[in-house]
Structure 1
Amino acid sequence: MLDAETGEAAPPRDLEVVDGAVARWSPAPDAAYCEWFALPGFVDAHAHVSSVTDLVGMLAYGVTGYRQMWGEPAHLYSAGVHRARHAVLPLPWTTAGVVDGPDSRIPHHVTVVDDARQVRRVVEDVLAFGFDGIKVYDDLARPAFEALVREAERAGIPVVGHVPEAVPLDAAYPGMWSTEHLYGIVPNVFRLPAADRWAVLADALQRHRDDGPAVEGAAGRFVCPTLTAWRARSGERRYTRPSRTLLQSATPSRRPAWHAAARDALSLERAEAQRRSLLVDRLGGIAYDLSRRGARLLVGTDCGNPFVLAGPSYHKELAELSRSGLDFATVLKAATVDAYAATGRDPARADLVLYRRSPAHDVTRLARPDAVLVDGVLLDADDLDHLWGLRLTAAGLDAGTWRRGDVDPAAGDRQNKETADAG
């Protein structure tokens, strides 16, 4: 077992699993021999799962749990199926949709609250349906936010999501179980016209640098940076590669948005793409600073957004955090120990990712597990390859188009502006 706190391999032991839980660890009879290297199953701490192909992609890349951050009652079904052991699925932690204020820019897609009665109704619905948390959004007013935090705390319900623009960060940290996308330190620039987004982000990063770190209250708090989603929206093409295979892999309902993003990315001048990429690097620097100041980082992808595919993009996020300067142990802790704490997962569960070679100190080795043990069922490399092939086939692709373990399709499958325009 690799120690998820230190990233170092522990002495070999025999593992016994009964009914999906660890029953016994015992010293291996031959301490010099080790057949597997094991880690706790990974958790995608910010996901928007919309199909079974998303769940298959997660399993194929070692993700055995996720936080569904815009939930509906239908999303609870997969949790029920998992608990009934009728299927092998990643275990979800699900929020009750999104709570926003009367000035919401997406009023038809959120629950609008503006008074104490509406706040109580939200909390009662969460308890009635059995959701795991409440997600708040950008336009929630501060009085409603504070009332919601109080009622949720009484009911034992975590409040997560975007730091509302009307709520100062030092007031948000104590009331929110986790904050997403580094909002509150920088604004949600994607609410702005496309031409203004990156200039506003640059200004916010400069203010953050000039005014000193706005991260003092983050110690002990869960923060999910989703750097890979920021990177994907920047249009740069070093780490985000628009391709025909990637675009076709998207859920059909998402493909128009993905194609539009590909056209935007391919139309960027190289200098502008590089400028935006450097801004995302600076966001990584904020994540590094948060970790150094005691924040508990979470590995989340925001999968579902353009170029962010469930499974492969999880390992892009690990790479982003590693490039920001975080060491292997810190990244591993964010992917497992802290993610389990953030979702309240039972540490006795035996969900594991297993490797024939030790992945210690190298995040790139984590993307292709040789087996996954989930809910007491062992999926070996052949099973995982088959699942990934089925996921590609469901998208109309040849099963050999994209090798499991690669975070992008083969380099020869690049997109050009003409094929992007043609869809």
Structure 2
Amino acid sequence: MTPSQDAQWRLRVGLLPAGDPQADALRALATRPRDHRIPAVAPVGPDTGRPGPVRDLVVEDGVLAHGPPGDGPARWYALPGFVDAHAHVSSSGDLVGLLTHGVTSYRQMWGEPAHRYAAGVHRARTAVVPRAWVSTAVVDGPTTRVPGGAMVVDDRHSADHVLNEALGFGFDGIKVYDDMEPAWFTAITAAADRVGLPVVGHAPERVPIAEAQAAMWSTEHLYGLVPNIFRLPGDRRWQVLSAALDRVEAEGAARVEGYAGRFVCPTLVTWRALTGERRWTRPSPTALALADAGRTQAWTAAARAAIGLDRAAAAERGALVDRLGDLVRAVADAGARVLVGTDCGNPFVVAGPSFHKELAELSRAGIPFAAVLQAATGAAHAAMRRGPAATTEADLVLYRRLPTTVADLARPDAVLVDGVLLDAGDLDELWSLRLTTAGLNAGVWPRGGLDPVPALPREKERSGAG
């Protein structure tokens, strides 16, 4: 194998490299049985949050079978597996983080060969990993602000190349970006529609929002309603967002009515983390240790910015994200199909816990519990274009008590992944491995906690001296 071929191979298996302890643990789980009979399970309707009739849950080779009625009260409550509808998974640690928090599928919104490989691993059952829906790398215009990572479309040949690559490498969708030019946006979306590929991503800044709403399968981060402020200098971002929210709020329902029936993935948890405010996200050394090597610099810079932010500025930025939450509720009220996505991989958005932080953000925004469940499960499976078989696949999240709030969802008591049963002990062990592999004590972040355990204050502060 030549050095070039060797590098390409490592890129393909990058999520599950040989010798990685977390990857080895996920491979070991693949030898477990995929046939089970779990007594007295009440399925929870993802559109209602209410339990259905109690039945025994029967799984045969990873497929749900019709079990007999249960005997007595429910011992388990089952929900469809959660879906992180906007993820940037980059390691075996991310895969472990998702599984241990009940996320059995994800939409990878900047795909690479490693993610197609992971999709093959799931299908081949050589490791237990979440099911991946994988978009292309970003497709953008010649003025792209991510020149190292974008496929630039500026003529017919480059537009054809995007379509050929998406189909040839088996990507599930095409991701467009901020600087896509209107004419080529129209060409790409029309060609993608012709071959049945969804177009997702950032509503391009120069494309009228009504056209983006009509042509795109899902839009991310509320872009189109508000701009991608993170492409602006740091000293301008929040003023621009404030002005944009003023305009949207002044226009009222007319601004959001075009989202009716469309998928929208707001990723409020990432908006919150990027403000630097610390009410709901703690940029702690514990979380920093979980950053992949290629992201440590960005996470460290974000932590320094948060620490240096004065309280008034933090409160002002946090209030803007609260207003974004109000906008999500308005979009939902207009008939949009809201999705739960995290944008994990961005600073202090940790795969797994961040999913439940997003549930909390949506709940604080006033989205009812049943609607949050639907956003995390049924709507997300539809966004992945999963057909009728999805209703029989044994991807489930199980609880001993009926969950009635988003806080009840954060620590599953068991997870079924393609028929492999992971009980609470398995999940705790995997999450501990995630922490110890990063050089952390397993007790610093209990599974189900939205943030790490706060560090103890210094002895001088505890004693009241000074």
* TM-score of the superposed pair, with normalisation by structure 1: 0.96
Moved more, 109-118 or 36-45: 109-118
Equivalent in the alignment of 2:37: none
Question: C-alpha separation between the residues in 2 aligned to 1:376 and 1:208?
Answer: 45
Structure 1 counterpart of 2:444: 401
> In the alignment, which residue of structure 2 is the partner of 1:318?
359
Q: Secondary structure at the match of 1:92?
A: strand
> For the residues of structure 2 that align with 1:26 and 1:217, how far apart are their CA atoms?
45
- Give 1:78's aligned amino acid: A
1:412 CA displacement:
2.3
Indicate the residue corresponding to 2:48 in structure 1.
6
1:28 aligns with 2:70: yes
What SS class does the counterpart of residue 127 from structure 2 fall into? Answer: coil
Letter paired with 2:373? L
What is the Cα deviation at residue 199 of structure 1? Answer: 0.4
- Measure, in 2, the Cα distance between the counterparts of 1:76 and 1:68: 10
Q: Which position in structure 2 is the counterpart of 1:287?
A: 328
Deviations 1:182-230 (A, max 9, x none): 0000000000000100000000000111223411110110000000000
d(CA) in 2 for partners of 1:17, 1:227: 36
SS of the equivalent of 2:422 reads strand
* Cα distance between partner residues in 1 of 2:60 and 2:300: 46
* 1:281-330 deviation line (CA, Å, top 9, x unaligned): 00001110111111000000000000100000000000000000010000
Match of 2:396 among 342, 352, 359: 352
Residue 300 of structure 2 aligns with which residue?
259
Counterpart residue type for residue 352 of structure 1: L
Partner in structure 2 of residue 391 of structure 1:
434
How far residue 26 of structure 1 moved from its aligned partner, in angstroms, is 3.1
For 1:217 and 1:211, how far apart are their aligned partners in 2? 13
CA distance in 1, matches of 2:307, 2:162: 43
Q: Distance in 2 between matches of 1:26 and 1:223?
A: 38
Shift of 1:370: 0.5
Where in structure 2 are the equivalents of 1:3-402 lying within 5 Å?
A: 3-30=45-72, 33-213=73-253, 214-345=255-386, 346-360=390-404, 362-402=405-445
Query: SS in structure 2 opposite 1:379?
Result: strand
Residue 151 of structure 1: CA displacement?
0.3
- Which shifted more, 110-119 or 272-281? 110-119
Give distance in 1, aligned partners of 2:71 and 2:436: 44
SS in 2 for 1:138: coil
Whole-angstrom CA distance in 1 between matches of 2:99 and 2:247: 41
Deviation at 1:103, TM superposition (A): 0.9
Secondary structure of residue in 2 paired with 1:107 = coil
Amino acid aligned to 1:17: V
Q: Deviation of residue 402 (structure 1)?
A: 1.1
Distance 1:171 1:121 in 2: 23
Percent of aligned pairs with the same residue?
60
Counterparts of 1:171 and 1:349, CA distance in 2? 36
5+ residue gaps, structure 1, are: 416-423
The 1:414/1:249 distance shift into structure 2, 3 A limit, reads farther
> Is this contact kept in 2: 1:44–1:301, CA < 8 A?
yes
Larger radius of gyration, structure 1 or 2? 2
Q: Deviations over 1:348-376 (max 9, x none)?
A: 2110000111112x100101000000011
Residue identity in the other structure for 2:68 = S
> By how many angstroms is 1:34 displaced?
1.2
Q: Distance in 2 between matches of 1:7 and 1:19?
A: 28
Rounded to whole Å, the distance in 2 between the matches of 1:374 and 1:281 is 35
Counterpart amino acid of residue 189 in structure 2: V
Deviation at 1:249, TM superposition (A): 1.5
Deviation of 1:413 after TM superposition, in Å, equals 5.9
Contact 1:241 1:414 in 2 (8 A): no
Q: Residue 106 of structure 2 aligns to which amino acid in structure 1?
A: Y
Structure 2 counterpart of 1:418: none
Q: Higher mean Cα deviation, 116-125 or 254-263?
A: 116-125
Paired residue secondary structure (1:152) = helix
SS in 2 for 1:149: helix
Higher relative contact order (CA 8 A, sep 6+): 1
For residues 109-168 of structure 1, what are the alpha-carbon distances to aligned partners after superposition, in whole Å with 9 as ceiling and x for unaligned?
A: 100001233212211111110000000000000000000001000110000000000101
Letter in 1 for 2:338: L
Runs of 4+ aligned structure 1 residues displaced above 6 Å come to none
Amino acid at match of 1:85: R
Matched, 1:411 2:454: yes
SS state at 1:97 partner: strand
Indicate the SS of the match to 1:99.
strand
1:326 alignment partner AA = I
- 1:344 is paired with a residue whose SS is coil
Give the match's secondary structure for 1:400.
helix
Code of the aligned partner of 1:199: Q
What CA distance in whole angstroms lies between the structure 1 residues aligned with 2:112 and 2:453?
36
Counterpart-to-counterpart distance in 1, 2:406 and 2:148 = 41
Quick one: which amino acid aligns to residue 122 of structure 2? H
Q: Name 1:419's counterpart in structure 2.
A: none
